[in-house]
Amino acid sequence: MEKVPSSPDAPGLEPPPGTTSYLNGAFTLQPYLAVEVAAAAILTTVMVIARVYTKVRVMKSVTLEDYACVIGWAFYIAFMGIQYSCGRHGQGTHQWNVPYKNVQYNWQYSNYGDMLYSISLLSVKLSILLIIQRIFCSVRKNIPYYLIIFLIAVNTGFYIAFLIVPAAQCIPRTKIWNPDAAGHCIQPSKLYIASGIFNFISDIAMLSVPLYLVWNLQMSMRRKIGVSIVFGTGGLACIAAICRIVFNNNLGHTKDYTYTHAQPTMWSIAEIAFGLICTNLVVLPRLLQHLKEVIPSTTHSAAKHLRNNSSNNGGTAKGEWSQLDERQDGRSKGEWARMEERADSDRRFFKEEAKLGDEEALDASVSGTAGLGDGSPRPPPVPRK
């Protein structure tokens, strides 16, 4: 049984030989944790807001992966809030410099954080997998289609299990933060290592599917690289998962929980952030396209308004000349409008008759709004065999 300090305000651990406890002013990783939490919260929140705006206002098409993304982001914010609070109570500080009552706080709330982490990461991964399925595999039920279904099932099963196991880490649960209580517990470091290994393997599998499909499509090299970069941001999550495994392994070889646990926690924050970035980058090009269309239109309207005001403030003669110019411009513009209308009609006719290339099909699948002449949705690209 672990030796428990005699007072809640006593140091949470006996200091190593030759080391003195400093309950105030000791070195801590908490400032770095706070900066990471703030940066991750701002970045992911901005990207999720941009995604929601794009899907609701621009594309007017909300799909299942959008709900999964928002749920994952909400639990991610809650997860980071708990980790920040743990940092304020000694996480990132050597345990012999932390009051025992704060160590208990870290034990208790880190356990809650583990459950939030599972829900958040599962939701983010489901969002990515559903996007891959909709873009690449909604027409033909081929091997990649069944592989994605398999990944969805395996990830769901694992993270539900990882949600249940921390909830039952100790029986009774109060033993999590009261180690001197009667009962028994599962070693948490083993859970963290198992989670990290699974995350790394599943991330590699999720990354491989879209990259394989993209490079088997017939599109320009530049476009292939661009799409690969979007999904390739998931590779950063793989790196974070590896680092998390390394630091979680240290938890099983030390009693300095408050300091050692902060390091894999920071990599957990980065891991989910990279996943959220990946699932949102797929939608952001559509928002940029929308802004390119809206901004010139707004500028043109403002310029036209200024010209009208200027013409109204002129003298009678100037007004007559302006009216004459407007009639002349109206005739010219009318002729150009009719010519452009006929050209647009021809372009639409030939476009409806021709088959979409892979690039156009990919755009249609991402936006979910582009359709054929009758308004039916365009099929996603089918990879070449």
Domain assignment present for 217: yes
Instruction: Pick the range with the lowest mean pLDDT from 79-83, 287-291, 349-353.
Output: 349-353
pLDDT reported for residue 324: 44
Region 161-166 average pLDDT: 92
Domain assignment present for 208: yes
Residue carrying the six token digits 């899907």? 55
pLDDT reported for residue 298: 59
Bridge partner list, 377: 371
pLDDT, one tens digit per residue, over 188-244 is: 777 888 888 999 999 999 888 888 888 777 777 887 787 778 888 888 999 999 999
pLDDT reported for residue 283: 86
Q: Tell me how far apart the terminal alpha carbons of the chain are, to the nearest angstrom.
A: 61
pLDDT, one tens digit per residue, over 287-303 is: 888 888 877 655 555 55
Q: What's the CATH number where 283 sits?
A: 1.20.1070.10
Domain assignment present for 209: yes
Domain assignment present for 239: yes
Domain assignment present for 271: yes
Residue carrying the six token digits 């891991």? 271
Instruction: Pick the range with the lowest mean pLDDT from 176-185, 190-199, 322-331.
Output: 322-331
Where is mean pLDDT largest: 25-39, 66-80, 204-218?
Answer: 66-80
Region 325-333 average pLDDT: 52
Q: Is the pLDDT of residue 12 over 70?
A: yes
Count of the separate structural domains present in the chain: 1
Region 144-159 average pLDDT: 94
Q: Is the pLDDT of residue 321 over 50?
A: no
| Domain residue limits at 258 | 30-287
Domain assignment present for 369: no
